Structure 1
Amino acid sequence: MSETWTTTSIPDQHGRVAVVTGANTGLGYETAKALAERGASVVLAVRDVKKGEQAAARMTGDVTVQALDLSSLESVRAAAEALRSRLDRIDLLINNAGVMYTPKQTTRDGFEMQLGTNHLGHFALTGLLLDLMLPVPGSRVVTVSSTGHRIRAAIHFEDLQWERSYSRVGAYGQSKLANLMFTYELQRRLTPHGTTVAVAAHPGMSSTELARNTPAALRLPLTWLAPLITQTPAMGALPTLRAATDPAVLGGQYYGPGGRHEVKGHPRVVTSSPESYEVAVQQRLWAVSEDLAGVTFPVVQPTRSPSPGSAQAGV
């Protein structure tokens, strides 16, 4: 694979439909913009419709807006219903939106905010839209994780919602680990269908609004180091774009920046933490997520469990 993959490497996307969450700013905006410029019909699924419309106006191509608040399962269901009423297929579902290092708070459904938004909201949305993807050859679910998934690398089933004690950094790490485990288990369940694949990506260290809740103790050092360790949102979006469009991508792969420590650089296949590959934990998280989100996927657990990245190439 080329180590200098850029937006010019994106194949023609005419005829493809892409839904990108959190696409009014940052990584989501750059992802949606690049896909639209290559010909895809792009839906910006965003919490603030006005900001989404302003973002769409700055893009070229076929770009529309859909209201979506991932911190509310009611909103997720309403958005899925609206998308189903207007679309007859989805080629790309890009689960990009997220929150990071938020103070202790819960979603409208009572879930810890970072787990509820970053994982459970996207889990529910994917499950509700997946039957629009399964008949589409080459369709992909791309979920954006983070190097932060290595922080306290565990799913804390004994206190999943951080009710006993709260660490904003630890809760973020759990939510991003959940993103990866969701991807790997989803790919395992998609393999028998032979059409849709699940892929993950992370942006490295990118300068976006996502870091606005960074704890004060970390904020000043990061400000000093930012010129050395961060990259633009456009560069940070490249791993997601490669995961979504490179014909050589395999289901279950994980893409990130190719530079030192994966903080910046052109996208390539990377590996996640050892904990993220624990199949039993993936499957337990899936069962818990179905129960919490109230969503059952139109795919079932296979009798055999192929390892991530071993499934099939995208089209």
Structure 2
Amino acid sequence: MTINIAVVTGANSGLGLVTATELARRGAHVVLAVRNTAAGEEAARRIRDAIKGAAHMTDGGAREAARLGSRVEVRELDLASLVSARTFAAKLAADFPAIDLLVNNAGVVLLGPRRTSADGYELQIATNFLGHFALTGLLLGNLAAASQARVVSLSSITHKNAHLDFDDLMFERGYRAATAYGRSKLATTVFGVELDRRLRAVGSPVVSVLAHPGLTRTNLTPRAWEHRGRLGQIVARVGLVATQSVEQGAQPQLRAATGAGVRGGEFFGPAGLWETRGPVTDAKLSREAADPAVGKRLWAAAEELTGVSYL
């Protein structure tokens, strides 16, 4: 698959940084869509340095490294703000009529007490799901203008034990951070599957695929426990030992983004114990994630909450 223009949300660290680096190394013009642009610029520098370091530093190799490294740019996107998503999408769509790849990678996890987004929504579902739902819809015309565009949605093994309460999607009653995170990732997974159904139904050339990283050491891992005091910090450090590297964890989404012959609706994850680590294989959806009735209902709710309608 040839990727000319790629957009990676949350590309300043972790899985997003690994993914953006590999896409740039393959020759794509990569847009790092990040909330913190200073961190984004540092990530862009690291990507350029990685490309230069990997090149054979003959004159030709140096020139090629410089060419590839220059095709990395940073743009501000706060997925917890629908205004930010619309502003970002409008500028990007104007600059790039055809977009080959959108990797919906960014996310927040386990933030302690309930917090809300700029639009008043529970912060985890707002960032992990609603922001990406809006962004994808706003860029769908540009994706359709590419010959073989893909949308990659980042799921999690936590989606398997989650449930969507349509009477309280924003978790206003009995908030629990871990449960809210799993719900946000189930919503993201349902979205990726339902998007595939709708794209197929209208004969769109865009392909929707999913991936999850298993248990991976990212910058989000310690945050999962930081609000639980000293014991939580100890648990987080022990947990880090049992996880796989971020480079390994990024392989499922890289397969989804760049693999040959990838079909709409495919879901990639680690092959090891309970899909926690190991080489890439086909992952399994929970029953709720695969249910078309759930997909239809969540889609309608997301259109209402974001004001973005498509397909």
What is the TM-score normalised by the length of structure 2?
A: 0.88
The alpha-carbon deviation at position 58 of structure 1 amounts to: 1.4
Q: Distance in 2 between matches of 1:285 and 1:219?
A: 35
Q: Within 5 Å, give how 1:97-108 maps onto structure 2.
A: 97-103=106-112, 104-108=114-118
Aligned residue for 2:36? 48
Partner Cα distance (2:267, 2:205) in 1: 18
Name which of 262, 268, 281 aligns with 1:249.
262
Corresponding position of 2:19: 31
Q: C-alpha distance in 1, partners of 2:18/2:94? A: 26
* Equivalent-residue separation in structure 1 for 2:275 and 2:173 (angstroms): 33
Question: What does the per-residue CA deviation read over 1:146-195, in whole Å, with 9 as the maximum and x for residues that have no partner?
Answer: 011123x2111111111111010110011000011001110011113241
* Equivalent residue number for residue 310 of structure 1: none
Judge conservation of contact 2:98–2:144 (CA < 8 Å) in 1: no
Tell me how far apart the structure 2 counterparts of residues 208 and 253 of structure 1 sit (CA, whole Å): 24
Are 1:170 and 2:179 an aligned pair? yes
What count of residue pairs does the alignment treat as equivalent? 284
Residues 226 and 51 (structure 1 numbering): CA distance in 2 closer, same or farther, change over 3 Å?
closer
Structure 2 residue 191 is the aligned partner of structure 1 residue 182:
yes
Report how far residue 212 of structure 1 moved. 3.3
Question: Matches of residues 233-244 of structure 1 in structure 2 within 5 Å?
Answer: 233-244=246-257
Alignment CA distance shift 1:258-1:136 (3 Å): same
Partners in 1 of 2:122 and 2:132 — Cα distance? 14
2:217 to 204, 207, 215: 207
Task: Measure, in 1, the Cα distance between the counterparts of 2:178 and 2:74.
Answer: 31
In the TM superposition, 1:1-315 aligns within 5 A as 13=2, 16-60=4-48, 61=68, 62-103=71-112, 104-151=114-161, 153-191=162-200, 192-215=202-225, 216=228, 219-227=233-241, 229-297=242-310, 299=311
Structure 2: distance between partners of 1:222 and 1:245 = 32
The structure, 1 or 2, with the larger RCO (C-alpha pairs under 8 Å, 6+ apart) is: 1
Shift of 1:218: 5.4
Alpha-carbon distance in structure 2 between the residues aligned to 1:88 and 1:135: 7
CA deviations over 1:191-227 (Å, ceiling 9, x no partner): 1324111001001111111123323365533422432
Q: 2:163·2:288 contact (CA, 8 Å) conserved in 1?
A: yes
Q: For residue 265 of structure 1, report the CA deviation from its aligned partner.
A: 1.2
Task: Show CA shifts across 1:214-253 (max 9, x none).
Answer: 23365533422432x3111111111000001111211011
For the residue of structure 1 that corresponds to 2:214, the secondary structure is coil
The answer to whether the 8 A contact 2:89-2:139 is kept is yes
**One-letter identity of the residue aligned with 1:239:** P
Q: CA deviation at 1:134?
A: 1.1
Alignment deviations for residues 251-277 of structure 1 (CA, whole Å, 9 cap, x no partner): 011110111111111211111211111
CA offset at residue 294 of structure 1?
Answer: 0.4
Deviations 1:127-153 (A, max 9, x none): 0001001132221000101011123x2
Distance 1:85 1:51 in 2: 25
Runs (5+) with no aligned partner, structure 1: 1-10, 300-315
Q: Is the 8 A contact 1:134 1:193 kept in 2?
A: no
Which structure's CA Rg is the greater one? 2
Q: Classify the secondary structure of the residue corresponding to 1:142.
A: strand
1:24 to partner: Cα distance? 0.4
Q: Report the 3-state secondary structure (helix = DSSP H, G, I; strand = E; otherwise coil) of the residue aligned with 1:165.
A: coil
Distance in 1 (CA, whole Å) between partners of 2:30 and 2:184 is 26
What letter is aligned with 1:140? Answer: R
Question: Which has a greater percent of helix?
Answer: 2
Of 262-271 and 66-75, more deviation after overlay is shown by 262-271
2-structure distance, mates of 1:174, 1:195: 30
Aligned Cα root-mean-square deviation (Å)? 1.4
Tell me the distance in 2 between the aligned counterparts of 1:181 and 1:39.
31
Separation in 1 of the partners of 2:12 and 2:239? 27
